[in-house]
Amino acid sequence: MSTSDAKGPIILVTNDDGITAPGIQNLVEAVRSLGEVVVVAPDSPQSGTGHAITIGQPLRLERVHQFEGIESWQCSGTPVDCVKLAREKVLHRLPDLCVSGINHGANHAINVLYSGTMSAAMEAAIEGIPSAGFSLLDFAFDADFDIAREVANTIARRLLESKLPARTLLNVNIPKLPRDQFKGIRLCRQANAHWEEQFDHRKDPRGRDYYWMVGAFVNQDEGGGTDVDALEAGFASVVPIKFDLTDTAMQERLSKDWKDLFV
């Protein structure tokens, strides 16, 4: 791209539902007034890809005309691949902000790990780009993104205006609610939750077994202040996320309990 005539900050937009999803269209609309928007997004749905990268096969990257007046590219890889390619092969610099989404479906609690939407935002933050992922608690293709768009605009504007560290990363979830029941934005911690998987067992036409993954989200958090709590109470949740995964409490414990093991 030509950055010489860039107006304002460069904002990279990506997602995991693919470049044709309504969610990314809404995210582009949410942030296009804040700077020069460039889209690099997957050419197909990539939900549940987590922080996967493509190393065993080559990547395609193609210019498309998906958004009126917005430079946009589709990539054959994962959301994380999109962020890497955007920096190296499209922008040739770090953008000032990366926003990912708006995901069709929740990425609260432990879903941050499975989510391609959040992994794209995390990859940007790892590379030193302030970043946020946005998710609406509605899987529908024709979901109402009005409130989510406003929340995304507000958070993106704050990230651009604030002098926060370059590696700042926010996980933002928006409840599925009519406007008169939406209560605002709440700062939260990640709920302690997991999925209880079940597998739908079937036989293919040749009689061979196969399985579809299905599962139930289980919130086992007993404290307050979580993203799950906030969303259930009608708030959008904002959880600051880090990617230094060191468990310092366990490090302290092992330094005593396993003292004889370590040199």
Site for a second copy in 244-263 (CB under 8 A): 244-248, 250-251, 253-255, 257-258, 261-263
Q: According to CB under 8 A, which one of 45, 150, 177, 217 is a site residue for a second copy?
A: 45
**Considering beta carbons, is residue 15 or 47 the nearer one to a second copy?**
47
DSSP string, 165-226: -TT-EEEEEE----GGG---EEE-B---EEEEEEEEEEE-TTS-EEEEEEEEEEE---SS-B
CA distances from 205 to 94, 199, 200, 209, 211 (A): 50, 19, 16, 10, 14
Q: What is the dihedral of CA 41, 16, 14, 129, to 10 degrees?
A: -130
Query: Per rule CB under 8 A, is residue 154 in the interface with a second copy?
Result: yes
Is the Cβ of residue 66 or residue 192 nearer to a second copy in the bound state? 192
Which positions from 96 through 125 interact with a second copy, judged by CB under 8 A? 110, 112-114, 119, 122
Nearest distance from residue 13's CB to a second copy, in Å?
Answer: 19
**Could you tell me the CA-to-CA distances from 49 to 30, 118, 120, 195, 226 in Å, in that order?**
25, 10, 10, 16, 24
Q: State which of residues 40, 61, 136, 228 lies at the interface with a second copy (CB under 8 A).
A: 61
Interacting residue with a second copy among 169, 172, 228, 231 (CB under 8 A): 169
DSSP bridge pairs for 12? 38, 98
Please return the burial class of 148, using the count of CB atoms within 10 Å of its CB with bins 0-12, 13-18 and 19+.
buried
By CB under 8 A, what part of segment 64-83 binds a second copy? Answer: 80-81
Of 35 and 77, which CB lies nearer to a second copy in the complex structure?
Answer: 77
Nearer to a second copy, 69 or 246 (CB): 246
Taking CB under 8 A as the criterion, which residues in 2-41 touch a second copy?
A: none
- Contact between 189 and a second copy per CB under 8 A: yes
Site for a second copy in 209-248 (CB under 8 A): 209-213, 235, 238-248
Structure tokens at 10: 């460069």
